[in-house]
Every structure is written in structure tokens, then in C-alpha cells.
Amino acid sequence: MREHDYEIVLTDHLGEGLVAVAEGSTIFEHVRLESVHEGVLVTGEVDTTAVGECGRCLRDISLPVEVEFQELFAYPGQEASDFEVHDDHVDLESLVRDAVVLALPFQPVCQPDCPGLDPETGERLAEIPERNPQEATDPRWAALSSFSTDPSAGDTSTADREEK
């Protein structure tokens, strides 16, 4: 068994969409390599930081990415495997890339309860908490807006019944 620590500077970004690990970022890897009968068992941990924007309010964010992975690299000629040992070496690039990209959130947020943007003005709702959003009225229901749901606001039929 051997253990190694690596610091790798990315030459290309990892991920697409709202967040990604940017080109030039550093990935910290701790890898344990174990010789087993079928090949080399690789267990590792990856730590890095993804940058992008919040999916609700479009604020710039930075998210820690911590991923664990484990894969068996089979010796050539052994059972079918996606990963093989080549000249006593294992190539971790695609394994690490896949693990990091799959760990990135699809809809990242700056905070769990981010209210997003005001649909009318485009302002961040977190910056104007005293604002009460107006409810949009469907024009198909406009004729009913003159009726009240308050029983004391003009419906005398129930009041007349109680007096009798």
C-alpha cells in the first residue's frame, strides 16, 4: 500500500453551468493505492473550490467541493474494466474529473433560503426585506375582484338570519 498527496493546478475548467472549478485552480488530492489480486485499488479524497453564481439571485459564490472516490484498476488481460493498469501506472485524471463534476450542484445557491430576484424590478429580495410583493391578478378573474371574502363587508343575508 502507498499513500500520496498531490496539489494539481488545472489547465482546463471542470464543470459547466452555473458553477465550475476554474482553470488555474488547485485541486488537493490524497490517494491510497493498494495492490489486490485483480489489480490496483485506488481510494482517494479530492478538495477544491468551485466558483460561479447563485441560481436564484445571480450573486457570485464560491463553494467548497469535497469528494471521495474508489476504483479498481484491473491488470491488462483481467476481467473487463473501465480502468486498467498501464506499465505499472494508473491514470486518475478521468476518475477525478468525473468525481468532481458530479459533485457540483445543479442549482447552486448563495444561502439555503435565498429569496432570489424580484420579478418586476430585478432587485435582490434579500437586500430589500421590507418589500411586500404584490400578488398578480389573473385578468380572467378580474370580474370577481369586486366581491369580498370578508363576511361582514356587505353580506347582510347572514346577519339578517341571525337576528331572526
What's the domain range around 67?
2-103
Task: Determine the residue type at 62.
Answer: S
148 part of a folded domain: no
163 part of a folded domain: no
Q: Which residue do the cell numbers 424590478 mark?
A: 121
158 part of a folded domain: no
118 part of a folded domain: no
123 part of a folded domain: no
Count structural domains, the chain. 1
**pLDDT by residue, tens only, the chain of 164 residues:** 999 999 999 999 999 889 999 999 999 999 999 999 888 999 999 999 999 999 999 999 999 999 999 999 988 876 666 788 888 788 899 999 999 999 999 999 999 998 888 877 888 888 886 766 566 677 788 777 777 676 665 555 554 445 54
